[in-house]
């Protein structure tokens, strides 16, 4: 079997497995555990079936040919963020995100990042505490990529880039349990090969004003309301997060 035959067979098996899995989910049966083994790829990173919620799903494919890739991109819905990335077609021409529920509060979408591609800027990451929720592309074979993020009070922890590069010949990349995508970088012709940055979510400490601005809590060790300065019990990050 030559290399092209192997690639075709691998892609056919890939799509058939996801179609089969989607049918089982629709029937309320769930997926076999071998789909998670396939997810891990060469990085040994993969979410277990138990760690992916019933709401986890792929976005539609986007590419530069249909206008959707540049105009709107692919977005995770509501309170979801990206936990996986997949591409298909020559030089990773079509891309999509795998989205799952986030384990903390999530804010509004931020502006699109700068475009990056193999011949210039080669990576983009969300700001610390923000999580990847959108991707768009332009140019031949989705050559240029831009990402979009949502802010959260949940900070990054244990961040890493994947060890290996991923392309259309490989299985979809999906992070391990309780980790979420925050960045992408690429190299090769048409930005064909990609690495992914992912982090675990670290809840805000109890002595923080994250998600508490303007509120008083009798059980908290510090306060975030307008009276805290008078009583001298403001949290240390009150001014930074809530203003004076």
Q: Are the CB atoms for 98 and 172 separated by under 8 Å?
A: yes
**Residues with Cβ within 8 Å of residue 37, at least 6 apart in sequence:** 46
What is the tens place of the pLDDT at every residue in 30-61? 443 333 333 344 454 555 444 556 689 999 99
Q: Are the CB atoms for 82 and 102 separated by under 8 Å?
A: no
- In this model, does residue 101 exceed pLDDT 90? yes
What is the tens place of the pLDDT at every residue in 124-175? 999 988 999 999 988 877 888 999 999 987 889 899 999 999 988 889 999 9
Enter the CATH code of domain 204-244.
Answer: 4.10.410.20
| Domain residue extents for the chain | 1-32, 34-202, 204-244
Is 224 exposed, middle or buried (CB count within 10 Å of its CB: 0-12, 13-18, 19+)?
A: buried
């Amino acid at each position: 079997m030559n290399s092209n035959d192997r690639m075709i067979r691998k892609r056919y098996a890939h799509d058939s497995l996801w179609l089969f899995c989607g049918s089982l989910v629709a029937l309320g049966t769930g997926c076999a555990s071998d789909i998670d083994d396939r997810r891990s790829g060469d990085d040994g990173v993969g979410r277990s079936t138990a760690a992916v919620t019933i709401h986890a799903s792929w976005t539609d494919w986007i590419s530069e040919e249909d206008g959707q890739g540049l105009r709107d991109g692919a977005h995770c819905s509501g309170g979801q963020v990206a936990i996986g990335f997949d591409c298909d077609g020559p030089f990773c021409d079509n891309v999509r995100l795998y989205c799952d529920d986030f384990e903390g509060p999530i804010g509004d979408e931020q502006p699109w990042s700068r475009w990056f591609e193999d011949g210039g800027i080669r990576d983009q990451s969300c700001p610390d505490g923000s999580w990847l929720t959108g991707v768009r592309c332009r140019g031949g074979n989705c050559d240029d990529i831009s990402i979009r993020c949502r802010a959260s009070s949940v900070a990054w922890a244990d961040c890493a880039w994947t060890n290996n590069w991923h392309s259309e010949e490989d299985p979809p990349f999906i992070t391990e349990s309780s980790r979420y995508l925050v960045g992408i970088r690429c190299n090769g012709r048409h930005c064909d090969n990609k690495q992914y940055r992912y982090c675990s979510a670290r809840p805000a400490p109890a002595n923080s004003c994250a998600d508490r601005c303007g509120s008083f809590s009798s059980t908290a060790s510090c306060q975030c309301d307008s009276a805290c300065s008078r009583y001298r019990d403001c949290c240390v990050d009150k001014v930074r997060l809530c203003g004076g």
